[in-house]
Amino acid sequence: MSDKKYILAGLAVVAVLITIPFWINVINVGAVPESHEPVLTEKAKAAKTCVLPKDEMVSDHMQLLDVWRDTVVRTGERIYVSAEGKEFNMSLSNTCLDCHSNKAEFCDRCHNYASADPYCWDCHIDNPKEKE
């Protein structure tokens, strides 16, 4: 039992090493983004509706975009019909960014806070209207 102090010291070192990522996140936490209404384009203001209700879009937008991607690529269907019966083109660039054109304010603000690095921008340009 003379090794008891070495075992306890070793366990303490292992515990510290295992919890380092947690402590780094606690120390480096950024300010929570303000919850405010996004800047909308004139088209969005005129439409007065989004693909899904706001709360669902905030929590489930990535799942919706994944379904859209799979549907367009695998079946070739490009029209999404909302619960209200309104039709939308299944396109991040031409539907979502058409109404929410300020990517830095609309997308990046929350994605940066959540350390989410969506792969959307690997293929989709930030503002398709500027590139035309």
Going residue by residue through the chain, which has 132 residues, state the pLDDT in tens, using 9 for 90 and above: 688 999 999 999 999 999 998 888 778 766 666 666 666 778 777 877 889 988 898 889 989 999 999 999 999 999 999 888 999 999 888 888 888 887 877 788 888 877 787 777 777 765 555 444
Q: Which two tokens stand for residue 87?
A: 């039709």
pTM above 0.75, yes or no: no
Q: Which two tokens stand for residue 74?
A: 């695998």
Cα–Cα distance, 5 to 9 (Å, whole number): 6
Q: Provide long-range contacts, Cβ within 8 A and 24+ apart, for 84-90.
A: 84/49, 86/49, 88/51
List the one residue out of 80, 105, 82, 84 whose CA is nearest residue 92: 80
The beta strand positions in the chain, using DSSP E, are 79-81, 87-89
